[in-house]
Structure 1
């Protein structure tokens, strides 16, 4: 399959980094918005590319850490790195390499439950007849109402995610 014949805006996934992709496509790895066929999907500016002229879009989508789970670092060594600006954009396992498997996970979260104890269960004499029997339970009518809080220990990791394999995403801009 020739990537040169792909439609503008086509996103491809690959285990090849950008330098390797350019070598296979026989293109210069120095990114040039007017001449590069594909660029990494990392939110970079693509002004003056054919895709930008066609769509009016000035940047490519940032697919880092998204499903299909793109890698945080899509650029190649020697290219300027775009800084991740928030935890929402980050794959917590940022040391992953293309092709790495990542198991599913449920994000760490608390569970709580609450209840209520009513102090008025005691009779005026401080006793309570259980099921109409002869046995009396002594209790303090001044005990009052109480709230009970039950906490369940949190379990999980830093995010909720399905099983996945990391790849690089590229988009055709020319």
Structure 2
């Protein structure tokens, strides 16, 4: 700043007209910054997706990653890079529409990263054991181990602590038997055979076991995280 003022003072002393002051930039517009990012680059954006920010983003060459459908004629460069990886221009069907494809609104879709984590393609490393079962983000999008495919939540093999309790309860009942006659029992002396009856008590045990698995909390399996918006460069 001081060097600029010094140059301007020298120019005035030599009779050279100074440069006119630059007009203040429109605060609602952001000029496209020079960068070497290729078209299709995805970065995190710390602002909200509102009308003002989306205007600034578009002026700078960026679009929200919200799954919107686009026309090839309007976003030719972006289509040349991502094609129909994320869909053929269909809306996301409503949850209660089953296998409905949704309404077609354009020629291709930008990625929809709302509420999703990003994961690198497996590319034969076997780090994604279910890579072959990945599905399309929108109708016509990529499946399997390709850019744009998605996976639903899943919980891998694991153990739960469990408590087991056993209870024992008595079940008393009686057995009847006969004593031999003439053997000093209750029968008459000298008589053969069995006569007389007496009752004895015995106890049997019944065992019941109850196993309780402690419940998990939460509605999904997830790491610690923080919210951000994703944007994609279209030119």
- Provide TM-score, normalisation by structure 2: 0.34
Higher relative contact order (CA 8 A, sep 6+): 1
- Provide TM-score, normalisation by structure 1: 0.44
Question: Which structure: larger Rg?
Answer: 2
